[in-house]
């Protein structure tokens, strides 16, 4: 991925601060696992991603049908 462990840790910490300090991950002996807040954030992120993809398809389809190309 080309991103260091420190960068990922810092970005996660920034997200957690943005969510009022709610921890998104907890460390277990098997690695890191999502907390309940992390699972909720993941569900919302997936929904946001799907909505953005749907919007992009709609815009592309509308532009193609009207003869407009960006």
The pLDDT, as a whole number, for residue 68 is 56
Q: DSSP letters along 4-53, please? A: -HHHHHHHHHHHHHHTTT---EEEETTEEEE-HHHHHHHHHHHHHHHHHH
- 31 phi/psi in degrees, rounded to 5: 130, -145
Tens digits of residue pLDDT in 47-64: 999 999 999 988 887 766
The pLDDT, as a whole number, for residue 61 is 78
Q: Does 10 score more than 90 pLDDT?
A: yes
Q: Which residue reads 């815009």 in tokens?
A: 59
Enter the pTM of the model.
Answer: 0.72
The pLDDT, as a whole number, for residue 37 is 96
- What rounded mean pLDDT belongs to the chain? 89
CA distance 36 to 40: 6
**How many Cα atoms occupy the beta-carbon half-sphere of 39 within 13 Å?**
5
At the top level of CATH, the class of 5-66 is mainly alpha
Domain boundaries, the chain: 5-66
């Amino acid at each position: 991925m080309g991103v260091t462990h420190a960068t990922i840790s810092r970005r996660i910490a920034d997200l957690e601060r943005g969510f009022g300090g709610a921890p998104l991950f907890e460390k277990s002996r098997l690695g890191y696992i999502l907390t309940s807040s992390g699972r909720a954030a993941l569900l919302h992120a997936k929904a946001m991603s799907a909505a953005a993809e749907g919007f992009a398809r709609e815009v592309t389809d509308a532009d193609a049908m009207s003869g407009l190309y960006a």
